[in-house]
Structures are given as structure tokens and as C-alpha cells.
Amino acid sequence: MLRFQQKYHAKFLKAWPYYITILILLVVFAIYSYSIFTEKLYLGSFVDKGARFLIAMQYAQEPSKALELSSWVAIWPPVPFIIQSFILRLVLFQGVSDISLGIKAIEFTSVTFVLLGLFFISRSVALQTNDSTGVVAFLMCLCTPLLLDLAHTPMSEVYSFFFVSIAIYSVFNYLKSNNKISYVIAIFCFVLAYFCRTESLLFSLIAGVFFDCT
């Protein structure tokens, strides 16, 4: 029993930077969540978010539209609206027309995806260096205006950044461990990033060249 406790404590002390990163993430998440639901945080134009909310709400009320190619073309890129409609189905019941509640849900998921994206970026740094450097990288990300800049446009850019960050982490994980699953996840996330923001195709091309070189 004592040996198990010593082994557990040693493992915890070795991974403390990882747990510190998680703790910081949760604290920042709580602050932004409170700011959103108390309407003390400005995240872009009400008109823009209202229009996006109405499209996502239409998808939430008519899920079959998410599978129609014509709908994809009409509201390109399609993935952000599909994700947002799923979120709305979770937080809103059928027929709700309270746009302010829907917009808060959009803002909430927007900040959540940005924070998770920053977390994966910091873990990518940790894979290439060490966990302590990963904590520093995460703090540096929080010290830049990137969080609000991305969350300011709470659909395409946010989701694209989220999927690209996972893809980057998966690429480094593949290079370090040669895990084929990470390779597949990276490709899948780059494809999703493309369907969130067409310009993200650049990241997909870079990743393809990078994989070929390795």
C-alpha cells in the first residue's frame, strides 16, 4: 500500500505541469462563462450572431437539412452550423424563440472551443519540449488577444482553430510515438477544419507535405 502511494505521488509530481494547465484552463473557463451569462463580455455584433443563430436554430429544428448538399452550399462552410445546431438541440427545447438564450449558447461554445484549442496548442509545445514549457506556452496564449479575437466571430474561425489545433497536436504525437491513430485523427481534423473555414485548406496542404517528408 505504501509503495503504491509513493508511486502515485511520484507520478503526480512528475506530471504537475499538466495538472496546473488543467487548473488554469478551468479557472479561465469559469471567468469567461460568468462574464457571458451576466452579459459583461462583448463578443461581436448582435446582428451577426443573431443571423447565425437563426440558421443554426433552423438546422436544430429540421435535422434533415444538415444532410442536404444544397443546404451545405447555401450556408458554406457547413460544419459550424451543424455543430451549433447540435449544441442548440442540447440546450434549447423545440420551438424556443428566445434569441438571447441562443446567442449566449453560441458565445459559450465559442469560448469553450477556443480554450480547448489553446490547450491542445500548449500540449503540442509540451510534446516537443517538456510539460513545464507547455504551461508557459498556455499562459502566453492567454496573454495575447487571440482568445477574444477568435471568439469575436463565434462560428467558422473558432471551429477551424479548434480542429487545426487538435490536428497539430496529433501530428506531433504521431512523430513522437508513431501512433497510426494520431495520423488518422490529424487528417480527419484537417478535413473538418477545411469544412469550417475554406482557407484552412492551406493547413491541410502543409500537413500533407509535412507527412510526405517524414
How many angstroms separate the CA atoms of 146 and 111, rounded? 11
Q: CA 56, 62, 67 angle in degrees (round to 5)? A: 85
pLDDT tens digits, one per residue of 17-50: 888 888 988 998 888 888 877 877 666 555 556 5
- Indicate if the pLDDT at residue 212 is higher than 50: no
Mean pLDDT is highest, among 42-46, 102-106, 199-203, for 102-106
- CA torsion through residues 58, 64, 68, 70, sign: negative
How many angstroms separate the CA atoms of 143 and 135, rounded? 12
- Indicate if the pLDDT at residue 153 is higher than 80: no
Q: Which residues contact 193 (CB under 8 A, 6 or more apart)?
A: 159, 160, 163, 164, 167, 200, 203, 204
Residue 185: predicted pLDDT: 92
Domain map (residue ranges) of the chain: 2-213
Mean of pLDDT values over 71-79: 68
Mean of pLDDT values over 114-134: 87
The fraction of the chain above a pLDDT of 90, given in percent, is: 4
Residue 85: predicted pLDDT: 76
Q: Which residues contact 161 (CB under 8 A, 6 or more apart)?
A: 113, 114, 117, 150
Average pLDDT for the chain: 74
| Site of grid cell 443571423 | 51
